[in-house]
Amino acid sequence: MSFGPFTSPNPYTAGALDGTATSLLIPANTLTNYNTSYNAGIAFFRYTSGSNSAAVYLEFAYLESGTQFTVNTINTNIVSSPFSLSDPLLADGFSFTVNSAANQTFTIECTSNLNSTAWQMFVTTNSASGTLRIRDPRINTNNSFYYRAVSGP
């Protein structure tokens, strides 16, 4: 298999695909050009050879099959940082501030019962600056909500 800066080991060398592999690991930090499309290809080879005992003739059979495809990379090298929920305010609903790493995607979940394992998604968002004010107007109809921030969508 070969694409961009990555090539799998050649057949019959250490680490080569042995014909029974169902996956291939590309080492971390190999594809460092984010938002890039790489043209890739994989080929499968099989051959056999032989000769008669007097070595009068030699036989050789060879079969190859291959395909081409595209590998698209994205930047997932965003380090998650702990969240803090602060500055609660009860006015025109309930609001609070979420502090996170800049551009970190997070989901605010809520529940009305801390004994429940069923948290509901309230909003998924991010903040360019790392500080975002969240407002929940439902407090007017339900005065007991608990909130948490979870990394990612």
Q: Of 72, 97, 118, which marks where a domain is finished?
A: 72
Percent of the chain with pLDDT over 90: 0
Return the DSSP state at 114: T
Q: What is the pLDDT of residues 139-148, one digit of tens each?
A: 767 667 888 8
| 11-69 residue pLDDT tens | 778 777 777 766 677 777 777 777 788 888 777 777 788 887 776 777 878 788 788 88
Q: Could you tell me if 12 and 59 lie in one domain?
A: yes
Q: Give the residue from 14, 64, 15, 5 showing the smallest Cα distance to 40.
A: 5
Q: How many CA atoms lie within 13 A of 124 on its CB side?
A: 6
Query: Is residue 94 domain-resident?
Result: yes
Domain that holds residue 59: 2-72
Domain assignment present for 45? yes
45 and 98 share one domain: no
Beta-carbon-side half-sphere exposure of residue 58 (alpha carbons within 13 Å): 2
Q: Is 27 a domain residue? A: yes
pLDDT digits (tens, 9 = 90+) for 99-144: 888 888 888 898 888 777 888 888 898 888 888 888 888 776 766 7
Strands (E), the chain: 2-3, 6-7, 37-51, 58-72, 84-90, 94-99, 106-111, 120-125, 131-136, 146-151
- The reply to whether 7 and 67 lie within a common domain is yes
Cβ neighbours of residue 27 closer than 8 Å, sequence gap 6 or more:
6
Last residue of a domain, one of 50, 72, 94: 72
Number of domains within the chain: 2
Using the 3D structure, point to which of 22, 43, 72 is the last residue of a domain. 72
